[in-house]
Amino acid sequence: MSTPEIVFRIGGAAGDGVSSTAESFAKMCSRSGLHAWTYSSYQSVIRGGHVWTQVRGGNQPLLSHGTDPNVLVCLNQQTMDVHQGDVLEGGAIVFDSDLVKPDPSKLRKDVRLLGIPLRKMAQTITPTGIVRNTVALGAAVRLCDIDFRHVESAFQDIWGDKKPEVVAHNIQAAKLGVEAVQQAGGSLKLGLRFTEVPRYLMTGNEAVALGALAAGVRFHAQYPMTPASSILHWMAAHGPQRGVVVKQVEDELAAMNMAVGAGHAGVRSMVATSGGGFSLMVEAIGQAGMTETPLVAVVVQRGGPSTGLPTKTEQGDLNLVLGAGQGDWPRGILAPRNTRECFDLTAKAFNLAEVYQTPILILSDLYLGEGFRTVDKLDFNVPIVRGMMAADGGVAEGRYKRYAYTDSGVSPRVLPGTKGYQYIAATDEHMESGELISDILAGLPEFVEERRKMHEKRMRKLEGLRKDMPPPELWGSPNADLTLIHWGSTWGAAHEAIRHVEEDEGIRVNSLEFPALFPFHADETLRILKGVKKTLSMEANYTGQFARLLRAETGYKPNFTFPKYDGEPFTWREIADKILEVVA
């Protein structure tokens, strides 16, 4: 398992340009034809703190941000102190020789120390030395043999025609870094194959926004919240010219209620937020369930509870979305495992929302939502299915029944503005016409029956919805000794861990995973579980929220669990270690 790869890590204080430098580096990798995967460990401050980002690049498709780096850039002493021991044998550490001192006793053997006067060099270009991170970037580019053309084009894309002098300064700075490495031993000779065919590089949040656009979203409402904000940013920059009303609103209450209004009016409507914002949306999403209004809600999870860990990842909001809203109402919950699925499942969610006239939730997380990954070209020709409309069949006979009882539970809808079909959508319990039974009629014998029938009609939609939700998948070797059970962004590290233990230790492990979490495919899951030996359930929360759902739906209790709630994503190595521990 030693295919050539780049693992580039850069650290400094917030405001040092760590993440923008890493993002540029990832772009240079993807333009060199490499697969790329980034992870940014940052904090909720604008200046200071300790921030580091890792970019992994390789010739084979990647599954995680990897573990130890072969190139480390230290913009401050803290980065050196924290990370110097991680650098792989044969790797290199680039640091500002005037500000940072390495501790050779902590290094692995054969690590090249490249002390470069980053700030002083940068000050020869601009008095502030603001481009010092770019000097370091140039050094990394040379160490990894990346073609300098990609450096120039990346800077051109970022600052472009608006600030040609900034482009020039950065190119000059990167060249100084290249020359410094040239004089100190040249490249690390990592052995990567570069091509002329660039790859698409995007975050999970961008893929969600693209999926929504492909599916024809026409209304997006959001209140800024990490780690969901980049969905708003992308939509605000790209949506309006394509007919999408993008609204930053006063709070998440407004976001969800506006999305309900827009969905009711007949456009494809969505919101995006994190757990805290979704908590504010809870009452209003129940309103969508009751009024049978289609919409898509994206929840990009971060560490909780409360404000929690704003810049760290977790899968702790499954219970929240499963139980959101008072009473029972039908909902669908999708959980993309990777960037590609962020696109596919978001596009699909709009169809499910309109066909079943109810909210569909997408549960993502910070690791998936904010990390840049390469993907194959996305196909925007996604199927668009808008569900049953009453007005397609002509004028209503007698009074139109918006909530007519049907076998599927789905009642043909009309859009406001359609002549002759006027009705009231109500959050109170209502009859087929929409007329309330909650006020003066509730409790009268025939309305006890009406309430039962209407509630059953709504909930019946879950049966059809379940069939249309993607089923659980068993991935990997048949007859494995151990089956990993997981959902969401844990996918990549789990698969990579399985490859390692199979190749390095000869242990057969496979993986049971769930792109849809609700309505739950209980029968299919039980059928799969009958064929597995031992199971290890792993998820990034304290209580094992998915394991509890699995047990509630199937009675099955995993043999082993691996909860993680430290804010960091699962790495393949810790999963591999856990596998070895439980199969021993």
Partner 1 sequence: MKLEFELDTYKSEIKPTWCPGCGDYAVLNALQHALTTLQLEPWNVLIVSGIGCSSNLPHFLSTYGFHAIHGRAVAVAEGVKLANPDLHVIVTGGDGDGYGIGVGHFIHAMRRNLDLTYIVMNNEIYGLTTGQASPTSEMGMKTKSTPIVGVIENPIDPIALALSTGATYVARAFSGDVKQMSELVAKGLEHHGFSLIDALSPCVTYNKINTYDFFRKRVYDLNKEGHDPSDLKAAFMKALEWPVMQRDRIPLGLFYRNDKVPTYEDLEPAYKKGNPVKQALGVEDADEILREFL
Distance CA 7, CA 38 (A): 10
Q: In sequence order, which residues have a C-beta less than 8 Å from that of residue 105 and are 6 or more positions away?
A: none
How many angstroms separate the CA atoms of 50 and 52, rounded?
7
Note every long-range contact of 322-326, with CB atoms under 8 Å and residues 24 or more positions apart, other chains counting: 322/517, 322/518, 322/549, 324/278, 324/281, 324/282, 324/285, 324/286, 325/282, 325/283, 325/285, 325/286, 325/289, 326/283, 326/286
Alpha-carbon distance of 434 to 398, in angstroms, equals 14
For the chain, what's the residue count? 584
| Neighbouring C-beta atoms of residue 425, cutoff 10 Å | 17
Which whole-number Å values give the CA distances from 18 to 49, 50, 164, 325, in the listed order? 12, 10, 22, 40
Closest distance to partner 1 from the beta carbon of 266 (Å): 5
Residues 298/364, Cβ–Cβ less than 8 Å? yes
Tokens describing residue 461:
């939609």
Measured from the CB atom, the residue of 106 and 238 that comes closer to partner 1 is 238
Strands 560-563 and 534-539: parallel
* CB 388 to partner 1: min, Å: 17
- Residue 303 has what DSSP assignment? B
Q: Count the Cβ atoms, other than its own, within 10 Å of residue 487.
A: 28
Q: Which residues of 167-183 are buried (b: 16+ CB within 10 A; e: fewer)?
A: bebbbbbbbbbbbbbee
Minimum Å gap between C-beta 360 and partner 1 is 17
Report the residue number, 284 or 501, with the smaller CB distance to partner 1. Answer: 284
Residue closer to partner 1, measured from CB, 265 or 582: 265
Which pair of structure tokens corresponds to residue 542?
Answer: 């304290």
Q: Are 199 and 374 in contact (CB under 8 A)?
A: yes
The residue (of 142 and 218) whose beta carbon lies closer to partner 1 is 218
Closest contact distance (angstroms) between CB of 305 and partner 1 is 24
As measured in angstroms, the least distance from the Cβ of 338 to partner 1 is 15
**Least distance between partner 1 and beta carbon 511 (Å):** 28
CB nearer to partner 1: give 32 or 571: 32
Q: How far is the CB of 200 from partner 1 (least distance, A)?
A: 4
Closer residue to partner 1 (CB): 68 or 283? 283
Residues 260, 262, 268, 271, CA torsion sign: negative
Nearer to partner 1, 404 or 415 (CB): 415
In the complex with partner 1, the residue whose CB is nearer, 161 or 407, is: 161
Question: What's the token pair of residue 48?
Answer: 């200071």
Whose Cβ is closer to partner 1: residue 45's or residue 404's? 404
Q: How far is the CB of 385 from partner 1 (least distance, A)?
A: 11
Q: How far is the CB of 59 from partner 1 (least distance, A)?
A: 18
Q: How far is the CB of 534 from partner 1 (least distance, A)?
A: 41
Q: Smallest distance from the beta carbon of 432 to partner 1, in angstroms?
A: 14
Report how far residue 17's alpha carbon sits from residue 150's, in angstroms, rounded to the nearest whole number: 19
By beta-carbon proximity to partner 1, the closer residue of 292 and 539 is 292
d(C-alpha 458, C-alpha 425), whole Å: 14
* Smallest separation, CB 283 to partner 1 (Å): 6
User: 């999708």: which residue's tokens?
Assistant: 334
Do residues 459 and 500 make contact, with C-beta atoms less than 8 angstroms apart? Answer: no
CB-wise, 202 or 299, nearer to partner 1? 202
Report d(CA 200, CA 30) in Å as an integer: 7
Q: Give the nearer residue to partner 1 in terms of CB position, either 76 or 269.
A: 269
